[in-house]
Amino acid sequence: MQRARSVRWAGAVALVLAVVGCTTPHRDRALPAPTASAPTDCAYPRYEFTPDVRTETLTYVTPAVTLTAPDGGPVDFSHALAVRPLTATAVSSAGDADARNAYDAFVRQSRTPGLPEFGKPLKPYSNPTVGVGKPGRFLGYAFNWVITSSFVRHCAGTGAGRPDAVGSVTSFQADFPLAGTVNCAEPTGESGREAARLMCGTYA
């Protein structure tokens, strides 16, 4: 009789353990990592820009030519070389789409007229010749004013005074390239001296 009870008790214990084994999760099984949520777009951005910085930037130079006539002669710009190809652009820590939005906002609030659209490059300098009225070794050059500014972006919901993105914009006065000639023996002006260093071997 005692033997029969022991057998029935052992069977019940085995059944309970089997049920527990089926319903209890394995402790050594790794749980899936939570999926990171995608960043949300800023529907109502507000940009604050630092004051514009305008930099005289050499953009084109011609090969140096020697003029021997007493009254000089023309300097041909048809073979001008691009020193710095400029493009209207911006960068933002919030990505490319926000960079374009920031650039457009900068153009709207800028007091400089004629700024190019985002992504637009500087057109090649088109004036064919520039005259020089005396003999010597000369080259032609052109420069543009490059305009830069940094910004912070505030997005609705982030709280006042808490920017959620930063970046910078770069633009230029596309319609106002300034051109001239440089006497290799006496270069003057910031862009003129740089042009002479490049094309005349004058390290002034």
Q: What is the mean pLDDT of the chain?
A: 80
The percentage of residues in the chain with a pLDDT greater than 70, rounded to a whole number, is: 74
Q: With a threshold of 0.85, does the pTM exceed it?
A: no
Q: Name which residue leads in pLDDT, 186 or 12.
A: 186
Position 189 pLDDT exceeds 80: yes
Q: Give the lowest-confidence range in 5-19, 118-132, 149-163.
A: 5-19
Calculate mean pLDDT across residues 41-67.
92
d(CA 91, CA 195): 29
Calculate mean pLDDT across residues 155-173.
80
